[in-house]
Amino acid sequence: MIAYLRGVVRHLDEVSVVVDVAGVGYEVILPSIEAKALRTRLHRESEAMDVEGRDVALWTYYHVAERQPRPLLIGFHERQNREFFELLLSVAEIGPTLAARSMTIPVCDYAGAIERRDVRTLGTLPGIGKRKAEQIVASLKGKALSFALLPPPEIDEIPEAAVEDYMADVEAVLEGLGYKRVEAVRMIEAARRRRPEIADVQSLLEEIWSGERPG
């Protein structure tokens, strides 16, 4: 069991970080909100935009399954966030990958939605939908209150140039799939109106596909 890692960042993107611990590189999957919080913290500690070589500490969840023999490490910058993640795993049909993928909003907001029975908000989270949102509320209502009281993470706004860069990447993906530029722009703008907090390629694409599904 690997529960905690402390080392040096070798690579960081929207979905994972590689941490060098005594010469061994551990790839750690990061929920979207954790990646944003980690990048903010590392940038605030130094004026340099490049985070490679910076010290990092993560609480981790170690997972290995019979059908997925490759071990999976999922990282969190606070122990309470890992505990909330583990609470999500107690819900039927919510596995580690789905739980991590759904964590695109602060834990306090996620837990608050559970305690308010806010199925609509929960249903918009990646991979959740209405049925799983109802399952989460039925299973966890009354168990998430302490997490709802946690302070939100500090996350810096993405510079406009960076926003334009990742939107251009999404536009290129859509055009590569056969959409005309005007269609791609329309889809991107609609997704950002629905979820203005989105700040990375993967989350924006997921919101686009969710919004384009019929019914």
- The pLDDT tens digits for 171-193 are 888 888 888 877 888 888 888 77
DSSP line for 122-140: HHTSTTTHHHHHHHHHHHH
Residue type at 21 in one-letter notation: V
Does the pLDDT value for residue 162 go beyond 60? no
Q: Where is pLDDT greater, at 45 or 3?
A: 3
d(CA 103, CA 87): 13
The Cα–Cα gap between 209 and 15 comes to 18
175: left (phi > 0), else alpha (psi -120 to 50), else beta?
Answer: alpha
Do 18 and 11 contact (CB within 8 A), yes or no? yes
> pLDDT averaged over the chain?
85
What is the structure's pLDDT at 184?
Answer: 85
Q: Is the dihedral of CA 152, 154, 157, 163 positive or negative?
A: negative
